[in-house]
Amino acid sequence: MGVIVGLEGGGTKTGCAVLDAQGALLAYGQGGPANLNFVSEAQQRESFETAIESALKGISEPVLALGYTVAGTFANWEWVLKRLGNPQAFAVEETRMAFVSTGADVAHGLAIVAGTGSVISAFVSDRLARTVGGWGALIGDEGSAYDLARHGLQLAVRSWDGRESPSQLVNAVQAFFGISDLRELIPLLYQRGMPRHELARFATHVLETAESGDALAQQLVVERATVLARDALACARGVFEPQEPLWVALTGGMFRQPSLFQKTFEEVFSREFPRAHYHTPLMEPAVAVARIAWRRYCADSA
């Protein structure tokens, strides 16, 4: 019968999903980071191989179609296609995948991806209408995990040297990095260097510090969520009417569980789009990519 493969390479991990010819999930595998803006081609390929090998283990049926998405940038798909027996291939935009992952069959509304990086798109009847963000860790990715982690570190050192009031963020940094003197961050971050997706993991601790009641962490979480919500508004404005019911897909690690971040985002966004409905993922991104590929394959074969 044959299978459909969905491959999704993100800033932190790669997922690979296998569907049967009826669109049901058969297997899922996972690998490391794959964003070529921040990892090497060798690392990307290794992440892809790990995910594909583990997903396709024990599956001998031919691959009928591949859906693929990679965060931030291009990838060398040639060997992936060869590895899979050169199936029909469908490139899927990251935000379309994010949208479908929340359970919508037709992409119509707004997709916010806030994972290691961030990007926002508006879709109208399955057509990509507009994208903002996605400029990477140095000059963008507002409201992403890396963005929150970096700002959290910045606030912690400002608290440490007396430019801000005392904050539990200092303790969070000490625990996360295993250091007592925050000056140890300097060689750690600059000389040894820390990969973007590893630093991004500190975002969870900023969220936790905020939930525990720390004023500085709370202000920061509210600020970064507000920036993201305003960017989402800028993307939605002019594409949708303020009064229409709007599907808003909230995806990526920053929306993995309800938090002050998500609450703030929804509050700010709802001021202009009071009938927005917020949806978080029901499936792994790679499964959504596979489903999009499956639908396109079926349409092409019909």
DSSP state of 184: G
Smaller CB separation from a second copy, 150 or 279: 150
Our CB check for a second copy shows the closer of 1 and 138 to be 138
Least Å distance, CB 94 to a second copy, is 14
Q: How far is the CB of 30 from a second copy (least distance, A)?
A: 24
Identify the CA nearest to 30 among candidates 46, 281, 289: 46
Q: Minimal distance in Å, beta carbon 301 to a second copy?
A: 35
- Nearest approach in angstroms of CB 141 to a second copy is 10
Nearer to a second copy among residue 57 and residue 127 (C-beta): 127
Among 1, 24, 42, 139, binds a second copy (CB under 8 A): 139
As given in the structure block, the two tokens for residue 150 are: 């970096």
Distance of alpha carbon 231 from the chain centroid: 16
Q: Max CA-CA distance within the chain?
A: 67
Among 27, 45, 46, 135, binds a second copy (CB under 8 A): 135
Contact 110, 121 (CB under 8 A): yes
- Tell me which residues in 59-118 interact with a second copy (CB under 8 A): 72-73
Could you please report the per-residue DSSP string of 49-63?
Answer: HHHHHHHHTT--SPE
Is residue 163 at the binding interface for a second copy, with CB under 8 A as the rule?
A: yes
**C-alpha angle with apex 210: 208 to 215, nearest 5 degrees?**
155
Identify the three-state secondary structure at position 94: helix
Stretch of 6-14, 36-44, 99-107, 245-253 contacting a second copy, by CB under 8 A: 36-44
Cα separation, 166 vs 155, whole angstroms: 10
Shortest spacing between CB 164 and a second copy, in angstroms: 8
Candidates 128-136, 244-252, 260-268, 294-302: pick the segment binding a second copy (CB under 8 A).
128-136
Rounded Cα–Cα distance for residues 16 and 52 (Å): 6
Residue 38 found at the interface with a second copy (CB under 8 A): yes
Whose Cβ is closer to a second copy: residue 85's or residue 187's? 187
Closest to a second copy by CB, 15 or 133: 133
Q: Which is nearer to a second copy, 138 or 302 (CB)?
A: 138
Residue type, 99: F
CB nearer a second copy, residue 67 or residue 136:
136
- Do 95 and 121 meet the contact criterion of CB atoms below 8 Å apart? yes
For residue 108, give Cα distances in angstroms to 4, 100, 244. 24, 10, 12
Q: Within a 10 A sphere around the Cβ of 15, how many other Cβ atoms? A: 26
Binding mask 166-195 for a second copy (x = CB under 8 A): -------------------xxx-xxx----
Q: Using the minimum distance from each CB to a second copy, give the nearer residue, 44 or 102.
A: 44
DSSP-derived secondary structure for 124-166: ETTEEEEEEE---TTT--TTSHHHHHHHHHHHHHHHHTTSS--
Range 228-287, binding a second copy (CB under 8 A): 230-231, 234-235
Asked if residue 154 binds a second copy (CB under 8 A), the reply is yes
CB contact at 8 A, 108 and 123 = yes
Where along the sequence are the contacts to a second copy (CB under 8 A)? 36-38, 72-73, 130-133, 135-140, 150, 153-154, 157-158, 161-163, 185-187, 189-191, 230-231, 234-235
